[in-house]
Chains A and B, each alone.
Chain A
């Protein structure tokens, strides 16, 4: 029994955290938001913005570190590692609110293509960062960072419960047709640059059963890790703020009402994190209860992040309720991720079924 990461795993996490701290601060996250007014006149992306080129640079930096191929075998140019090796990295991409499909490309699609012999010959381009992939779980039609995606799959369960991975045919983001017009949907977290698919065909099934289910579970696990990271970020931002902000002649963080909000958030995150790490271990060793562990992790992490978002906003007061304050970048990402790859209720139902109730 040993519930801890190896020194190598922690060192890799630190390296990625350092890179993201430098290359992906709030102003870079905001730079991924569409500039100007949306269809309803809202100016969601206002505030301190970095140059757009810095958004692209983060992804190439990650590719250069080898992070995008972390779950791909060394034969195909990856690092040959598993969920236990990348779960902390996913958490850091959450902490940074990385404006790229790290989960979908590096954790879900690349390892799946590796497992089924790269049927469409795109793996090399995914690993070197030339191509981004996405995956649509559970019948979703929303493609995050859809304007850059050039390889798209769906992951669904058939009527008999069998998981199926299919390449998405037609629709907006098919193939590598970069010329095709992609319209960003107006969304709450516009920094996710969501493109909604219109009519599309789920054709070209290329994996079914276990590899497809594991691809889904990796997506839920990595998203759960991102949610823990997002929660930690919101808590850090808020703790700093309530130490500085003074009312009634004292820092508001000295008031019990504020302390109790943040203690609750910190507690939820502290108990969600081990569930996420244990799920990563379960998947890595192919534990028979891995699916239950993943769903437990995603349900707890979704709820913990959402609670932390609420508490953080409340402790900020009105300043938190602006687009200029960075908090909203993380709060909106948390809300979006809490509902992708199965929301908390979906995962609780899955745990229930796996417990036999």
Chain B
């Protein structure tokens, strides 16, 4: 065991840290120091500017091969990058659903032509991808989805009908990746196909709507006989094989639940900020008990810090196992449970630390509202507990 970073890794960290410090400041000043949420129309444009800054410096997708816009960074360097990114207070990545959810599937199932076309445009934020899985009547029970793609051989393509919803950032994206029923009369996870769909097709309507925090972070997407030509995307619009959509999609779920979407750096940075906030707050708290800090708060701050640290350490263990060819198996459900509950706890503790002022909009109150979605999206925590109990502990299915 050796939990130290090599000289090269430390040099990479220093380089990333210096670059982020300079460029984040430059980006903020380009927008007059007024950065809006990436889930609003005006804010999205600001964030696209940031994504292109990242891409130009080849920091948008550090772990990807150079030909697709990355720098072939190791998994360790990727973890370092994420630590530095959140430590520096980098904004949420508006490209993340493409980069972290679709790209791993493209790398695994995409043809060389699909990879060559899709990946660089995703990295540079020319194409912005959203996920089209959930439907009004298919949430946790995703396999009950009913969106149809009917084959039209005469025109050479697919005719899309149905509705997707809860599509994160759908109102601002250019493309959707999703599951459609291509075998008429098929049920559950059979007869599904993973399709790549430009959203500017005739017959596609995207309607954004407000999330819990009021940002236009959600969208519903209506397909009314929209024609998706086979060549709408160079290399084809089907990812994997027709009818194999479920197994192709499952490759994405473990990315979503596991490491790639929520690197530990995000939570260790939040925990460090919480410790700083406590230190600052307790420094000026008055001694009298009516206005002093609740004595239990320090304990909760420390608990949050320790749990973030445990996530970091568990990740180092998992990445090592993976690198040495001993994949951990179906453990991504535990990871999703851990970070999503940790995130809520860290933010609730911060709000309690702020006291009555917590009601005011702030980084913490915004973060809290966002954290509340964690136990719901990417498969609710109830579903994750079922998966963990069945696939890891071996308990019988219902």
Contact = CB atoms under 8 A, between A and B. Distances in A.
Interface of A: 1-6, 84, 235, 239, 242-243, 250-251, 253-256, 258-260, 262-264, 266-267, 270-272, 274-275, 277-278, 281-282, 296, 299-300, 345, 348-349, 351-352, 355-357
Interface in B59-73: none
Nearest to A270: B334
A263 B313 CA distance: 20
Nearest to A256: B386
A141 B398 CA distance: 50
B45 interface: no
B393 A275 contact: no
A1 B4 contact: yes
Nearest to A284: B1
Q: Which of A1, A251, A300 has the most chain B CB atoms inside 10 A of its CB?
A: A1
Given A1-B320, A3-B320, A263-B386, 17 more contacts: A1-B3, A3-B316, A4-B324, A6-B1, A239-B394, A239-B395, A255-B398, A256-B385, A256-B398, A258-B395, A259-B385, A262-B395, A267-B338, A267-B388, A348-B306, A351-B305, A352-B302
Contacts of B385: 256, 259-260, 263-264
B278 interface: yes
Contacts, number: 148
Contact of B389 (A259, A345, A355): A259
7 closest A-B pairs (Cβ-Cβ)?
A259-B389, A263-B385, A274-B313, A3-B316, A253-B395, A263-B388, A271-B310
Nearest to A345: B299
B321 interface: yes
Contacts of B386: 256, 259-260, 263
A275 B299 contact: no
A345 B388 CA distance: 29
Interface residues on B, range: 35 or more
Contacts of B301: 352, 357
B364 to A, nearest CB: 17
Contacts of A242: 395
Given A1-B3, A275-B313, A263 B337 contact: yes
Nearest to B278: A357
Nearest to A253: B395
B311 to A, nearest CB: 7
Interface string B1-17: 11111100100000000
B133 to A, nearest CB: 22
A282 B313 CA distance: 12
B141 interface: no
Contact of B314 (A254, A255, A258, A274): A274
Given A272-B310, A274-B310, A277-B317, A355 B392 contact: no
A255 B384 CA distance: 14
B202 interface: no
A271 B3 CA distance: 17
A356 B272 CA distance: 12
Contacts of A253: 389, 395-396
Contacts of A2: 1-2, 320
Interface of B: 1-6, 9, 76, 275, 278-279, 282, 298-299, 301-303, 305-307, 309-311, 313-314, 316-317, 319-321, 324, 331, 333-334, 337-338, 382, 384-386, 388-390, 392-398
Given A4-B324, A275-B310, A243 B396 contact: yes
26 contacts: A1-B2, A1-B5, A1-B9, A1-B316, A3-B317, A5-B1, A242-B395, A251-B395, A254-B397, A254-B398, A256-B382, A259-B385, A259-B395, A260-B389, A263-B386, A263-B388, A263-B389, A266-B392, A270-B331, A271-B334, A299-B303, A299-B306, A300-B307, A348-B302, A348-B303, A355-B302
Nearest to B80: A1
Given A3-B320, A351-B305, A357 B279 contact: yes
B286 to A, nearest CB: 17
A278 B2 CA distance: 9
B78 to A, nearest CB: 12
B314 A271 contact: yes
Nearest to B4: A1
Contacts of B321: 4
B20 to A, nearest CB: 21
Nearest to B314: A274
Contacts of A274: 310, 313-314, 316-317
Contacts of A260: 382, 385-386, 389
Contact of B395 (A5, A84, A254, A296): A254
A312 to B, nearest CB: 12
B394 A243 contact: yes
B317 A296 contact: no
Q: Which of B298, B301, B396 has the most chain A CB atoms inside 10 A of its CB?
A: B396
A273 B56 CA distance: 41
A271 B341 CA distance: 13
A3 B393 CA distance: 23
Nearest to A265: B393
B76 A296 contact: no
B376 to A, nearest CB: 16
Nearest to A299: B306
Nearest to B383: A256
Q: Which of B303, B306, B334, B397 has the most chain A CB atoms inside 10 A of its CB?
A: B306
A285 B394 CA distance: 38
A274 B318 CA distance: 10
